[in-house]
Amino acid sequence: MKKERVQHFKEKLLTEKILLEAELSAIGKQDTNGDWSATPAAHTEVEGDEADQADFIEEFDSKIARLGSLEKRYQQITQALVRVEDGTYGRCLKSGELIEEDRLEANPAAETSKAMMNL
């Protein structure tokens, strides 16, 4: 893949990484190992009736689920950026063939070609 195309995809990856970091920071915090954990809403105690407490728990569970999917995507983006730096970006991790550019446009962190997606 030509250098200018790799640069194009690198910029897309960096933009998405910044957006993910902001979204992750809004619902969680990162520990020293780089792992993210959800943070509960700012308050001193869960007060109110059982419905209020259930709402709080449901909101926190929702944060945990959202954080998990965001963290997975963040890791995919980070790994793609490593491949950019080591010169392997755009190659299918299963076959070694080039990943189609339309696939990379749709998902710049793609690890496999269209042919290898479901194998």
Question: What pLDDT score does 118 carry?
Answer: 73
pLDDT digits (tens, 9 = 90+) for 47-59: 667 776 666 667 7
For residue 115, being part of any structural domain is answered with no
Structural domain includes residue 96: no
> What residues in the chain have per-residue pLDDT under 70?
38, 40-48, 52-57, 119
Is residue 108 in some structural domain? no
Q: How many domains does the chain have?
A: 1
Which amino acid is located at 94 in the chain? K
Flag whether 111 is in a domain.
no
Contact 109, 80 (CB under 8 A): yes
Would residue 118 count as lying in a domain?
no
Residue 44 placed within a domain:
yes
Range of the domain at 21: 3-89
Asked, for residue 98, whether it belongs to a domain, the answer is: no
Domain annotation covers residue 112? no
Residue 45: its pLDDT value, please?
Answer: 53
In this prediction, residue 26 carries a pLDDT of 86
The whole-number pLDDT of residue 44 equals 43
